[in-house]
Structure 1
């Protein structure tokens, strides 16, 4: 593993900062998955199962629209909760019902 001199930023970190600083409505796969908070493969599974919206193409670029992702994410959340929260924070028990494993 290479070490960076103090005060330097890796190319990957600089790219991440630029991506976060640039507000966009349309996202490519990597950024859409990052926005949703899942891996690219899980994101594509959700798209294939129609739980997330289909992308569209602009001159060969495959893009997702944030305005379509947000309501789909709200629906996913509601389905996961089944009308109520399946994850309850309790000061005595912590995150009850929470399992981040696939």
Structure 2
């Protein structure tokens, strides 16, 4: 089982490649969804890393896949150009899930 990166940033892709993680760089929603579908279909990929900007292109689809996909793990990763605070995003997800503001 291996990791796979779907990134909107060449720098992130190069950095991951240096540690042995293959990936693709996409900038549009359709290209992102195609790359995601290809990664989901590959039986050798266990963990799909996706940059924050790409997750923001299709948040509902990513959430649905996370809830229904039992054999793949999708992990949102910030890149050096990202402005989103991951801690705040996690707080928001938990608050929505349990209905209590943290």
Band of TM-score, shorter chain: under 0.3
Which structure has the bigger radius of gyration? 1
More strand by share: 2
More helix by share: 2
Per the normalisation by structure 1, the TM-score is: 0.26
